[in-house]
Structure 1
Amino acid sequence: MVVVAFIFIAVLLAGVPVFIALAASSFIYTHFIAGLPDFVILHRMAGGIDSFPLLAVPFFILAGNLMNSAGITNRIYDFAVATAGWMRGGLAQVNIIGSVIFAGMSGTAIADAAGLGTIEIKAMKDHGYSTEFSVGVTAASSTLGPIIPPSLPFVIYGMMGNVSIGALFLGGVIPGLVMTAFMMGYVYYCARKYNMGRDQAFRWRTLGLTFVAAAPALLTPAIIIGGMTFGWFTPTEAAIAACAWAMLLGLFLYRSLTWKQFYKITMDTIETTAGVLLIVGAASLFGWVLTTTRVTEYTTEWLLSMTDSRYIILILSNILLLIVGCFLEPIASISILVPVLMPVILKVGIDPVHFGVMMTLNLMIGLLHPPLGMVLFVLSRIAKMSIERTTMAILPWLIPLLGSLIAITFIPELTLWLPRMFGFVR
């Protein structure tokens, strides 16, 4: 198994796509070491994606793409400006509020950064904010996308760890608000330190008009979370409902989406979904190899021989996830690490819903840093900055993000209170 791990890391560092690295290293074990028939690979990969909860993946991706292309982001941003533009460091606060709202529709950090980021960075620069500060707050706020439900990483984690996706969605609500408070507090600190002013006077009329314009879009999170909470539909059906609602808004209410755009959005969704499912399938095969070679069992025994303290395990897990998040995209990281870490956390009494939210936040922070941080690359293109400058712009924003991570890690009730209230967690 050491040889397989070495080949996986070597192939990955050579720049080969993650799913090929996973599948190739697994093939070497099954074909050359274990001597198993080649159809085992296809059987295990197909079994990995033969899951009803995974049907939610393409629909959540489609819903996010529809929201981005139907002009909904502009209405959300206008409402956020009316809500928070009067604060010190107004547009930076608006950036965070906008991400909170959009997070309830998109489910991914990259969709948040690409959709709202284009509007937010330009508006902040036009109002005299530095490009670095604009990029930093946009990067930090984009991490809210997969924490506040719906969340694509939660779907993958729930499927891989056999954890209720509804519980994960509810579990992400309060941690998302905690992150929001930390980031808004950091903006207030920067505003006081650098004497930032207010960007817009507060007007009830403006707030009312922008709320009315954005209200149909704001119903999307209520449809998704409310429907699942009250048992009206499953996460997969919630994703379909979100798509139907986004189409209704874009095609008929706002009339900002054409059938030609819809065709392009559908093709983009198919492409993204194919990439996600290839990673999940290859990671399922790789996870099966880890289980077959008893790596997961040995890892559990090794960790528990060092300590049985849940707090030490949480600290070690955070360090591991922060490092892995800088090298692997979240879907691949979740698919590989959940089979390895789940036995450990269950044995020391860590709730899998709590761990899932913590894991996702760690991996979102990894998206902001080289060598493979996708949000970093997206914002670098939007702001027309070098990767080095973009990285340095984001670094100060690790302060509120790591502060949030510490709170979420060591205060489990922040995650578990809502799922417990609705009977998802005992």
Structure 2
Amino acid sequence: MHIFGIMMAVFGITIFMGLPIAYSIGISGITALVMSGMSIEFIAKTAFTGLDSYTFLAIPMFILAGLLMETGGISKRLVRLASSLVGDIYGGLGIVTIFACFFFAAISGSSPATVAAIGSMMIPAMEKEKYDTAFAGALTAAAGSLGVLVPPSITMIIYAITAEVSIGELFMAGFLPGILIAISLMITVYFISKKKGYRNVHAKKANLKDFLAAFSDAKWSLATPLIILGGIYSGVFTPTESAIVAVLYAFIIGVFVHKEIKLKEIPDILTKAALTTSTVVIILGFAIAFARYLTLAQIPQQLAQIILSWTNNVYMIYLLFIILAFITGTFMATEAQILIFTPMFLPILKNLGVSPIHFGIIFIIAAQLGFLTPPVGVNLFVAQGLTNCSMVTISRRVAPFLVAMTITQLLLMFFPSIVMFVPKLFF
């Protein structure tokens, strides 16, 4: 365990020196290998073989699909549909933002893409109605985090591969938690808006005619999750194939139906998707090697003995994990968290009767919180770019939403039947 301690110390030091997360993981891994007398070729070989996975192909495809949907007019149609449901209540535009993020998350599978797509429209709209700019940005960042929980989700795919569980079952398990977190955010928005007087004075009361018109306009957008998830659950195609179907569908709708994507824009969209994918893949490669070393060094087993010597109460271990995931989420990318902590904590909790699907959902919610905590809170950086507010100001405004999401996470932890209800209907 002393090598593990030194490795984590090196990791922490390099993180706080400002090195990118991938390099920090690589340097700490090399340190452990050298101290163990192992060849550093282990990292290159393990990273290469670990990434050589058919299932991982879903990641660049869902990233590309999200960009095509953002450019192709799908997101603005979802916003209009959400607006027709909300009307002129307190915090109406904030609630519309949450609705729209929920719908778009079920299409893009990516949190930053959801924040960018919905925030670019909703933040200016909220500013026009005298909402505080930092509040609008924080709300969009929080609602955009639904992208990792509402299926299909890139984060879910990475966890499913790491934990060796069914991607389809994990997708199913995300529905109810996603709805509950969205509701908790809406309640938070409503009470803050009522206190601050945020209200869309130009909005009409919700009525059936406007809803039907908006629904008709958004029908192609709403069909996307039905095609993707329906194809997976019916067995027509695998999750990886569904990502490719999503790309083709988004391209056809954006170019030929909505006609909002010009063919000359395709190279730029492909370039953005490649850059985003490369960032994720570099982190994944080093994190896979890092996790493989931990397994070979039997760190998870040693950690299990230490934790179980303190307590064998499943909820106490869960709480320990949630606290650790929250702290590390402030400086560690979600992909790295999943690949490092899953082999550490999942065996312990499985031996105590916890379902790996339930653990995965709790873990993914913890990852959501990581998107909202500086200095590596990706959603906050996207929202900051859209609002031009300081990171400190947005971080303060996002605090009530973090509290609401944490309360929901604890509810789901203590009542696993909520998470497992939908999967048990189908599996």
* TM-score, normalization by structure 1: 0.95
AA aligned to 2:306 is W
Partner of 1:396: 400
Say if 1:67 and 1:246, in contact at 8 Å, map to a contact too: yes
Partner of 1:79: 81
CA displacement at 1:62 relative to structure 2: 0.8
Say if 1:90 and 1:200, in contact at 8 Å, map to a contact too: no
Among candidates 299, 303, 308, match of residue 299 of structure 1: 303
Task: Give the root-mean-square deviation of aligned CA atoms.
Answer: 1.5
CA displacement at 1:38 relative to structure 2: 4.1
CA displacement at 1:195 relative to structure 2: 4.3
1:264-299, CA deviations, whole angstroms, 9 ceiling, x for partnerless residues? 111221222122122111111111221222211110
Partner of 2:49: 47
1:50-82, CA deviations, whole angstroms, 9 ceiling, x for partnerless residues? 222111111111111111111221111111111
Partner of 1:278: 282
Alpha-carbon distance in 2 for matches of 1:38, 1:179: 43
1:293-343, CA deviations, whole angstroms, 9 ceiling, x for partnerless residues? 221111011111111111111111111111111111111111111121121
CA displacement at 1:418 relative to structure 2: 0.9
Partner of 2:155: 153
Alpha-carbon distance in 2 for matches of 1:315, 1:29: 28
1:186-232, CA deviations, whole angstroms, 9 ceiling, x for partnerless residues? 22323443444453322322222221111101111111211111222
1:26 aligns with 2:29: yes
Say if 2:15 and 2:331, in contact at 8 Å, map to a contact too: no
Alpha-carbon distance in 2 for matches of 1:271, 1:95: 27
SS at match of 1:16: coil
Alpha-carbon distance in 1 for matches of 2:40, 2:134: 51
Partner of 1:419: 423
Partner of 1:237: 241
Say if 1:149 and 1:172, in contact at 8 Å, map to a contact too: yes
SS at match of 1:144: helix
Moved more, 91-100 or 204-213: 204-213
CA displacement at 1:121 relative to structure 2: 0.8
Partner of 2:104: 102
1:138-165, CA deviations, whole angstroms, 9 ceiling, x for partnerless residues? 1221121111111111011111111111
Alpha-carbon distance in 1 for matches of 2:407, 2:381: 24
Alpha-carbon distance in 2 for matches of 1:394, 1:130: 12
Alpha-carbon distance in 2 for matches of 1:264, 1:336: 34
Alpha-carbon distance in 2 for matches of 1:197, 1:287: 49
Moved more, 115-124 or 196-205: 196-205
Among candidates 180, 183, 187, match of residue 182 of structure 2: 180
Partner of 2:217: 213
1:106-150, CA deviations, whole angstroms, 9 ceiling, x for partnerless residues? 112111111101111100111122223322321221121111111
Alpha-carbon distance in 1 for matches of 2:186, 2:148: 18
- Evaluate the alpha carbon distance shift between residue 39 and residue 187 of structure 1 in structure 2; reply closer, same or farther with a 3 A threshold: closer
Say if 1:224 and 1:241, in contact at 8 Å, map to a contact too: yes
- Evaluate the alpha carbon distance shift between residue 133 and residue 200 of structure 1 in structure 2; reply closer, same or farther with a 3 A threshold: farther
Kindly report which structure 2 residues correspond to 1:223-372, keeping only aligned pairs within 5 A, or say none: 223-372=227-376
Partner of 2:124: 122
AA aligned to 1:109 is S
Partner of 2:384: 380
Among candidates 170, 173, 179, match of residue 171 of structure 1: 173
Identity value in percent? 32
Q: Structure 2: which 5+ residue stretches go unaligned?
A: none
CA displacement at 1:234 relative to structure 2: 1.1
1:134 aligns with 2:136: yes
- Evaluate the alpha carbon distance shift between residue 121 and residue 305 of structure 1 in structure 2; reply closer, same or farther with a 3 A threshold: same
Moved more, 255-264 or 117-126: 255-264
Alpha-carbon distance in 1 for matches of 2:43, 2:195: 58
CA displacement at 1:4 relative to structure 2: 2.2
Alpha-carbon distance in 1 for matches of 2:268, 2:249: 18
Alpha-carbon distance in 2 for matches of 1:418, 1:4: 40
Say if 2:284 and 2:336, in contact at 8 Å, map to a contact too: yes
Alpha-carbon distance in 2 for matches of 1:16, 1:136: 26
SS at match of 2:235: coil
AA aligned to 2:276 is T
SS at match of 2:373: coil
Q: Structure 1: which 5+ residue stretches go unaligned?
A: none
Alpha-carbon distance in 2 for matches of 1:233, 1:104: 18
1:242-266, CA deviations, whole angstroms, 9 ceiling, x for partnerless residues? 1111011011111111222211111
Say if 1:76 and 1:101, in contact at 8 Å, map to a contact too: yes
SS at match of 1:149: coil
Alpha-carbon distance in 1 for matches of 2:188, 2:399: 13
SS at match of 1:148: coil
1:354-413, CA deviations, whole angstroms, 9 ceiling, x for partnerless residues? 111111111211221212111111111211111111111111222321221111211111
Question: How many matched pairs?
Answer: 422
CA displacement at 1:28 relative to structure 2: 2.8
* TM-score, normalization by structure 2: 0.95
Partner of 1:9: 12
SS at match of 2:372: coil
Alpha-carbon distance in 1 for matches of 2:204, 2:408: 29
Say if 1:63 and 1:242, in contact at 8 Å, map to a contact too: yes
AA aligned to 1:9 is G
